[in-house]
Structure formats: structure tokens, C-alpha cells
């Protein structure tokens, strides 16, 4: 059985061209098209659940597969083909080793995290938080003195890559962990911070989607849940349990949508992995990295009403944007989701962490500012600067977490969370 199956598979593989055909020849590859961004068109595109990549100079850019192009024609929405094509945008042969050059694939990340643990025993500890739908481990790197022990120190969380195509959002968390470890021995400020805290870094929350983005379709966003009816993927940044499914604007009940929320809060193993880590610790602050827009977002995402800790959240974001600018000269805008990105979200990560534990929680959308600046395609040469401008922002927030822990050593968890904990099988604190 097995032998026959793999012989067939081998034969089928021979028929698949080794290099992607240029877009236009392969019907599975999308085209990038633009349309006039007039309100009626925007509303229509939104209700048709198109994958909107961004808006600039009165045009809206859309990733459209052949069936989407047919829908645009049927709707009599005039569009223009853009010069980018996904086939061209996939990096060529590795510049610095590996199939996606300086960016990490999942297996490369696994190798480099293991390497950090081996180089910095006692300071770096890798654990798997659980497995993705397709069985890939979701790794966390913990950085602290005595990393193998749970010590009474300020806990801090950094997440990357909820969205598969946002490759740069893997690099910043990984490089943050690496920098802490490599500088620990020589930089007294870093040593002091690392000694007083427990830093948990999850660079790749969505390994299945990321792998699919690397190998098959560069613009893939969601995980790889088979939803039935030939539709795949849950948006794991709409699957968290705070105001999950509140309305159909902030997330979608449609399995074909790019913002499909899944069948229930925490229906996906990827969000459960983050949830279980979060509920088993007592984090003081967190950042979830995304791209693109170059903006620091804080809760709420589900409403335009301000969060109860507005002044703390806004003040910390201003401080972060300030240090970022001193590194690179770039300005990160800051504010609540709706004010910055023009749309509401429900079931997103930071609404859940803030809504559950009340801790400063940020979504940082990394550069570029817009689609025309490269969108999801960061140049390999920009990784370092993007990381370096984010480093002092993370260190400032970490310092705040350390100070907060010193001021209020008791966990800041809400009564709600304390009631929830035993029901989820976690020990009461």
C-alpha cells in the first residue's frame, strides 16, 4: 500500500514544474489589481469579502485569483492589472541560504532557536506550546536568568506571525531574543532587565499558514483549517475569546473570508497554544507583531470607545514611538485600531490579553507604511533596521513591566480570570 502510494506520488511530483510559472500562466496564482477606492466600490468589495491589500492615492489594491477577477467583471467593477505579480515577488534562489533568503522558514527558525538554547544554557529555554493543526510545534523561547526555573519576576510576552504572509513579524521577535542573549554578557542594562524578568517569545504562532505562504501562495493569511466546501483557513487574529464573533464587521462568519473567525472562540490549536501559555503565567505587558502599516495599536479593536487605561496605553505607545524614531528617523503612528486602520476587529489577540488580564497590550504593525512601499514584501536588507528600531521600544516596555512588578508584586489578573483558571484546568494562584 505505502510503496504504491509513494510511487504514485513520485510520478505526480515529476509532472509539477519545479519553478513557478509566471502569473497568468498558472491559474492558481493571483493577480494584483487595483480599483478606484470610491466609497461605493469599497463597500461592495468589503461585502464580497475581497482580500484588500491597502489603499493609496484613491486606488485600492486587491489580490485576485481568476474566480475573483470573474466576480469583478460580473459586478462591473472596473479594475486595472498592477505590475506586481506574486510569481515575481517570491524571492529567487536564496541569497543568504535557505529558500526565503534572510527570512526564516519554520524549520530554519527551529534550528536557530535550538542553536540559541545550546549557546546560552541557563539563559535560554525552548518549549513547545502545542502543535498546529498540521502538527508543527509552536515554539516559545524563554529568556531569563535561570530560564529553566519559574522565578518571581516580571513576565513579558512577544508574539510573531499570526498572519502567514507577514514574514517580517517572525524576524523581529526572534532577533529580540537573540539580542538579549548575545548582549547579556557585555551590556549591563540588558543583563539587569533579563535578570529581573521572564521574557517569553513566540516568533511563529501560525507555522502552517507560514509554510503555505512560503511554498504555495505568498499572500496566504490564515491558518490551514479545512472549513469544508473547498475553503481553507481561520484568521487566528479573529479567533480569541474576548468579544469573539461580536458582529460581522470585525470578523466574518464566512469560511471563505480572509477574516473568518472560526466556529467558536479558541477553536484553533494556534490560539489555544497562546491562550494556555498566557493563562499559565502572569504577564505584565505584551506585544504582538504584524505587518504592514508602521503603526503601534492598542485596544480596543472591537469598539471605538477608549480603553479604561487609555492614558497608560497611549503614554507607553508614545514613548515607544519616540525611541523608534531616534533609531531610524521613521515615525510609527499610534492609536486605537479603528482610528489607525479604519476598521474594527473582534476576537483579536490584544483585546483578549487586555480584556482578560488588563495588561498593556500592543499590536505593532511593522514597516512599510503602505502597499506601494512594498506591502508584505520587506527587503532582506531592511530586516536589521526594522529590528533595531523596535529593540528600544521593547526594552522600554519591558522596563515598565519590571517596574510594575516591583510596585505591585501581586498578579494583576482580574477576578474574572481567577474564576476562569480552575475551569480551564490551571491551578488557582
Of the residues 73, 365, 380, 389, only one is catalytic, namely 365
Stretch touching ligand 0X9 by CB under 6 A, among 30-38, 111-119, 200-208, 295-303: 295-303
C-beta separation of 148 from 185 below 8 A = no
List the single partner that 301 binds among Zn ion, Ca ion, ligand 0X9, none, CB under 5 to 8 Å by kind: ligand 0X9
By the rule CB under 5 A, 222 interacts with Zn ion: no
Stretch touching Ca ion by CB under 5 A, among 54-62, 137-145, 178-186, 303-311: 137-145
Stretch touching Ca ion by CB under 5 A, among 77-85, 144-152, 162-170, 233-241: 144-152
Per CB under 6 A, contacts with ligand 0X9 among 166-205 are 166
List the single partner that 337 binds among ligand 0X9, Ca ion, Zn ion, none, CB under 5 to 8 Å by kind: ligand 0X9
Question: Residue 268 catalytic?
Answer: no
Number of residues interacting with Ca ion: please give it, by CB under 5 A.
5
Least Å distance, CB 281 to Ca ion, is 7
Per CB under 6 A, contacts with ligand 0X9 among 301-360 are 301, 337, 341, 345, 348, 350-351
Least Å distance, CB 292 to Zn ion, is 9
Q: Each residue of 368-379: b (16+ CB within 10 Å) or e?
A: bbbbeebbbbbe
DSSP strands (E only) in 49-123 = 51-56, 59-64, 79-85
By the rule CB under 6 A, 299 interacts with ligand 0X9: yes
**Burial class for 96, CB neighbours closer than 10 Å (0-12, 13-18, 19+):** exposed
Residue of the chain from 146, 248, 249, 331 that contacts Ca ion (CB under 5 A): 146
C-beta separation of 361 from 285 below 8 A = yes
By the rule CB under 5 A, 249 interacts with Ca ion: no
Instruction: Please report the DSSP string for 238-296 in residue order.
Output: S-SSSSTTS-SSSSBS-TTSTTB--SSTT-SHHHHHHHHHHHHS-EEEEEEEEESS-EE
C-beta separation of 362 from 287 below 8 A = yes
Least Å distance, CB 254 to ligand 0X9, is 16
By the rule CB under 5 A, 382 interacts with Ca ion: no
Q: How many CA atoms lie within 13 A of 391 on its CB side?
A: 19
Shorter beta-carbon distance to ligand 0X9: residue 107 or 308: 308
Per CB under 5 A, contacts with Ca ion among 150-169 are 150-151
Q: How many CA atoms lie within 13 A of 216 on its CB side?
A: 11
How many angstroms separate the Cα of 251 from the Cα of each of 61, 209, 238, 315?
20, 18, 6, 29
C-beta separation of 196 from 153 below 8 A = yes
The residues carrying an active-site annotation are 365
Q: Which residues bind ligand 0X9 (CB under 6 A)?
A: 163, 166, 237, 290, 297, 299, 301, 337, 341, 345, 348, 350-351, 363, 365
Amino acid at each position: 500500500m505505502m510503496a504504491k502510494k509513494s510511487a504514485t506520488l513520485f510520478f505526480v511530483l515529476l509532472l509539477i514544474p519545479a519553478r513557478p510559472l509566471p502569473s497568468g500562466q498558472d491559474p492558481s496564482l493571483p493577480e494584483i489589481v487595483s480599483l478606484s477606492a470610491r466609497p461605493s466600490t469599497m463597500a461592495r468589495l468589503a461585502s464580497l469579502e475581497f482580500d484588500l491589500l491597502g489603499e493609496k492615492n484613491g486606488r485600492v489594491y486587491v489580490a485576485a485569483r481568476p474566480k475573483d477577477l470573474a466576480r469583478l467583471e460580473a459586478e462591473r467593477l472596473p479594475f486595472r492589472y498592477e505590475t506586481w505579480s506574486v510569481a515575481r515577488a517570491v524571492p529567487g534562489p536564496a541569497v543568504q541560504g535557505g529558500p526565503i533568503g534572510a527570512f526564516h522558514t519554520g524549520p530554519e527558525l527551529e534550528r536557530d532557536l535550538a542553536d540559541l538554547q545550546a549557546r546560552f544554557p541557563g539563559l535560554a529555554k525552548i518549549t513547545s506550546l502545542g502543535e498546529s493543526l498540521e502538527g508543527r510545534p509552536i515554539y516559545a523561547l524563554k529568556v531569563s536568568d535561570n530560564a529553566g526555573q519559574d522565578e518571581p519576576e516580571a513576565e513579558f510576552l512577544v508574539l510573531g506571525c499570526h498572519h502567514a504572509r507577514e514574514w517580517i513579524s517572525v524576524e523581529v521577535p526572534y532577533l529580540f531574543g537573540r539580542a538579549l542573549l548575545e548582549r547579556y554578557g557585555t551590556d549591563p542594562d540588558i543583563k539587569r532587565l533579563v535578570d529581573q524578568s521572564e521574557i517569553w517569545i513566540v516568533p511563529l504562532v501560525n507555522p502552517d499558514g507560514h509554510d503555505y505562504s512560503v511554498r504555495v501562495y505568498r499572500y496566504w493569511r490564515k491558518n490551514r483549517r479545512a472549513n469544508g466546501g473547498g475553503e481553507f483557513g481561520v484568521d487566528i487574529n479573529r479567533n480569541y475569546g474576548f468579544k469573539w464573533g461580536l458582529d460581522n464587521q470585525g470578523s466574518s462568519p464566512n469560511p471563505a473570508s480572509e477574516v473568518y473567525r472560526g466556529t467558536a472562540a479558541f477553536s484553533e490549536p494556534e490560539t489555544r497554544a497562546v491562550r494556555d501559555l498566557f493563562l499559565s503565567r502572569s504577564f505584565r505587558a505584551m506585544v504582538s507583531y504584524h505587518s504592514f502599516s508602521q503603526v503601534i495599536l492598542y485596544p480596543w479593536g472591537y469598539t471605538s470607545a477608549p480603553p479604561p487605561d487609555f492614558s497608560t496605553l497611549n503614554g507607553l505607545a508614545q514613548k515607544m514611538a519616540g525611541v523608534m524614531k531616534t533609531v531610524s528617523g521613521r515615525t510609527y503612528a499610534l492609536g486605537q485600531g479603528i482610528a489607525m486602520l479604519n476598521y474594527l476587529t473582534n476576537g483579536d489577540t490584544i483585546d483578549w490579553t487586555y480584556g482578560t488580564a488588563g495588561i498593556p497590550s500592543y499590536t505593532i504593525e511593522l514597516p512599510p507604511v503602505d502597499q506601494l512601499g512594498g506591502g508584505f514584501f520587506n527587503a532582506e536588507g531592511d530586516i536589521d533596521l526594522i529590528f533595531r528600531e523596535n529593540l528600544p521600544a521593547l526594552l522600554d516596555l519591558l522596563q515598565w513591566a519590571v517596574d510594575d512588578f516591583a510596585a505591585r508584586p501581586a498578579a494583576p489578573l482580574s477576578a474574572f480570570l481567577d474564576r476562569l483558571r480552575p475551569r480551564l484546568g490551571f491551578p488557582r494562584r
